[in-house]
Amino acid sequence: MIGTLLLARLRAALPLAVQAAGQAVLQQAQQNVASDSGTLARSLVLDVQEKTSADGAAAHISTPLPYAQLVELGSARRAPQPFLRPALLDQRSQMAGHIRTALAQTPSQESEHD
């Protein structure tokens, strides 16, 4: 019973945790972008999708600018200037904290079963 309640709280908290983690990665990526104009940094957007499966939620950071991939990965003529992968790696250690915070903000359903 306790395991079921905890699992339900985790499923409810996961979208909040994914949103917070995604926002942190987005902000770090925007800071990491090497740019004179700031166009690429401003174009980065976060989309969090809640899923009905056991996956719970997913965060996607994207941009409509076609040259973003060339900046991140480089090309035959240009050295890579990664901004997204380092942001994800920098924020990875913070993700457990996002889950703890989201769990704390998610009401316990124990009172409904008393």
- Predicted confidence pLDDT, tens digits, the chain (114 residues): 567 877 777 777 888 888 999 999 999 999 999 877 899 999 999 999 887 666 678 899 999 999 999 999 999 999 999 999 999 999 888 887 887 787 787 776 554 444
At 96 the pLDDT is 79
Residue 53: give the domain boundaries. 2-31+39-102
Within-domain flag for 16: yes
Phi, psi of 22 (to 5 degrees): -60, -40
Within-domain flag for 71: yes
At 50 the pLDDT is 83
At 112 the pLDDT is 45
Within-domain flag for 49: yes
Within-domain flag for 45: yes
Half-sphere CA count of 14, side-chain side, radius 13 A: 18
How many domains is the chain partitioned into structurally?
1
Within-domain flag for 109: no
pTM, two decimal places: 0.79
At 98 the pLDDT is 80
Within-domain flag for 112: no
Within-domain flag for 24: yes
Within-domain flag for 18: yes
